[in-house]
Amino acid sequence: MRELIRVIDVLPPHYCRHLIEKFERSRPEQTAGAAVDAGWNKADRMTGWRELNLSAHPERWQSEIATFTTVVDRVAGEYQRLVGQTLPQAYRLGPLRIKKYEAAQGHRFAPHTDANSMRNAPRCLALLFYLN
């Protein structure tokens, strides 16, 4: 599996700062998450985050959604070239979310699977964009 994992720098620092600042100004639209609530790893009680689903607020995040759509198309092509695998010709993006983990509170990204339902099972590629 490790041969399929790649790190590709695609978002310029100024754009990452823009996303972080806009996320912080969007507190009312954010929700709190916890892995135990999602049922991922019930033994891991220290996993938590704040989350904002950009796709649920297209009027406010239209420009960013358009940018990510373009970036994902470019990254998908680069990824295929790097790993020598092809992705399905037709694909769709799932909801775009920004998550913030509070390291000072012990929160972290816990190992888990997202293929836990028929809705999530068809995923062929997961992309994580680290903004910091």
Query: pLDDT tens, 61-120?
Result: 999 999 999 999 999 999 999 999 888 877 778 889 999 988 887 777 766 666 667 766
Using a 10 angstrom Cβ sphere, with 0-12 exposed, 13-18 middle and 19 or more buried, the burial of residue 104 is: exposed
Q: What is the mean pLDDT of the chain?
A: 83
Give the confidence band of 37 by pLDDT, cuts at 50, 70, 90. very low
- Please count the residues of the chain: 132
pLDDT at 8 over 60: yes
- Which position has the token pair 């909801």? 95
Look at the pTM and tell me if it is higher than 0.85.
Answer: no
What is residue 74's predicted lDDT score, i.e. its pLDDT? 93
What is residue 101's predicted lDDT score, i.e. its pLDDT? 86
The residue among 106 and 5 whose pLDDT is bigger is 5
What is residue 126's predicted lDDT score, i.e. its pLDDT? 81
